[in-house]
Structure 1
Amino acid sequence: MTPEERLAELGLTLPPVVPPVAAYVPALRTGDLVYTSGQVPIVDGKPARTGKLGAGLGVEEGQEMARICALNALAAVKAEIGDLAKVRRVVKVVAFVASTPDFTDQPKVANGASELFQEVFGEAGRHARSAVGVAALPLDVPVEVEIIVEVS
């Protein structure tokens, strides 16, 4: 089963690539690696949620936002390489979580993205990861995710 067939089986479709809000590109390939810029939870051109974890947003809402970020990252990768079947492995995921100083469940929030990559790519979706709490993110979104994938 291809990654896109797995997405369809999950009831998901890749969104259009989120256009950059500054001077960068959504994804860039160098050799066998594709790096995405940080992807935020944009749906239909606007943030799906705003705010901070620990101040009105809970872990489950954060996971949902991380999953949207992951879909946006996959859309950027596909736009760069043409076909998600060329992804050999998800190498690294970095999740930035806008959160209050006392919120410490950033890794649980990041699982929203990590679990999606594993559902889509199976064993090749297992990756190294960092989950970092930050004071604020662009557009006041609660989560931002960037990925590095190895491609053929």
Structure 2
Amino acid sequence: MNSVSQRLAELGIELPPVAAPLASYVPAVRSGQFVYTSGQLPMVDGALPATGKVGAEVLPEDAAHYARVCALNALAAVHALVGIDSVVRVVKVVGFVASSPDFTGQPAVVNGASKLLAEVFGEAGAHARSAVGVAVLPADAPVEVELIVEVGSS
């Protein structure tokens, strides 16, 4: 079986640098066999590629792509803390979608993150999930994603 880092290479995916926290927190914390990431925004090279509400300023398809970027940023935080190859399963994904009042497609947006995790981890990427619509996110980001992953013994 290939390692997670080998699978990422096969998919042509490179983990980005860990996004700098916007406030007083760390990107990820390990407790026992679990790593909890802080909510990750779709930062690319230190900037948000878009701002605004999904269903108004941001198209749902674009938001799904941004959720994928959030998941990559979360995986980068996991990798920096424990090494990506120590991940044995994705346990939970929580996605927050800054939504216009009439937008109800949050699950489809967060699928961007879920599909990436399935590509990378296969069956070990199947996870419990919440997709929540919110009024606003930090820096007016359209989406934010956090992960809980199980890691092997070290």
TM-score range relative to shorter protein: over 0.9
Partners of 2:31 and 2:111 in 1: how far apart?
Answer: 27
SS of residue matched to 1:108: helix
User: Over aligned residue pairs, what C-alpha RMSD do you find?
Assistant: 0.8
The separation in 2 between residues aligned to 1:49 and 1:4, in whole angstroms, is 29
Aligned mates of 1:78, 1:53 — CA distance in 2? 29
Residue in 2 aligned with 1:42?
A: 43
Give the structure 2 partner of residue 6 of structure 1. 7
Matches within 5 A, 1:47-126: 47-81=48-82, 83-126=83-126
The letter for the 2-side match of 1:150 is: E
Which has a greater percent of strand? 1
Choose 110-119 or 1-10, whichever is displaced more.
1-10
For 1:13, what is the secondary structure of its paired residue?
coil
Q: SS of the residue aligned with 1:68?
A: helix
Q: How many residues align?
A: 151
Q: How does 1:10-25 map to 2 (within 5 A)?
A: 10-25=11-26
Q: Distance in 2 between matches of 1:105 and 1:4?
A: 32
C-alpha deviation, 1:37, in angstroms: 0.2
Match of 1:142 in 2: 142
Contact 2:7–2:120 under 8 Å retained in 1: yes
Distance 1:76 1:120 in 2: 16
Q: Which amino acid aligns with 2:41?
A: V
Q: Deviations over 1:110-133 (max 9, x none)?
A: 000001011101100000000000
After TM superposition, give the deviation of residue 62 of structure 1 in Å: 0.8
Distance 2:41 2:3 in 1: 25
Question: 4+ residue runs of structure 1 moved beyond 4 angstroms?
Answer: none
Instruction: State the Cα distance separating 1:11 from its structure 2 match.
Output: 2.0
Give SS of 1:96's match: strand
Q: How far off is 1:12 after superposition?
A: 1.5
Specify every segment of 5 or more residues in structure 1 that has no aligned partner in the other structure, as ranges.
none
Deviations 1:89-129 (A, max 9, x none): 10000000001111000000000000101110110000000
**1:111 is aligned with what amino acid?**
N
Gaps of 5+ in 2: none
Cα distance between partner residues in 2 of 1:2 and 1:52: 37
